[in-house]
Amino acid sequence: MNDLKTLGGIAIASALFAGCATQKPSTTTTTAAKPASTDAAGMRIVKSRDGRFDGEVVGMPAPSSKFAKLQIGMEMNEVFGLIGAGNNMNSNETGKRWIPFYFGNDARRYQVSYANEGCLTFTGGNIYGGGGNELIRISVDAKGVCGD
């Protein structure tokens, strides 16, 4: 009787493995995200000035505005030197803060609001105190309300 149970178990396992082996590979392909044109919310993906990463620009800054002088990838001190410090700054942790051994510069973010302009979002560094302070998002909004 034990031989039948063992033999039955082997037959079931063989059928399962054979079924997995005969599945056809998926014909769908994934492609890298192309730089999107402006979506319904007015957001577009923009390469940083050095090409290392993609940032976001929400809305269109007026040609004479402070935000028209900015580029994704600029350092916070460079932005403040160019257009001044904002009216308000908020800081928050991202979910990357809890990834063990995360060495990227986006464990924290800073949002700086500017009256009559909008908001800027900067990376805030890693959990070890290094990196960060790169402009990753420009949100044009005359009310200066930061929102993601």
CA 54 → CA 18, 46, 83, 117, 126, distances in Å? 44, 6, 22, 22, 18
With 0.75 as the threshold, say if the pTM is over it. Answer: no
* CB contact at 8 A, 115 and 95: no
Q: Where are the beta strands (DSSP E) in 25-147?
A: 43-47, 54-58, 88-93, 108-114, 118-123, 135-140
pLDDT along the chain (148 residues), means of 10: 50 45 39 47 88 92 92 95 91 78 78 92 79 90 66
122 Ramachandran zone, left/alpha/beta (phi>0; psi -120 to 50)? beta
| Amino acid residing at 144 | G
Judged by DSSP in three states, 135 sits in: strand
pLDDT of residue 40: 54
Location of structure tokens 């054979």: 18
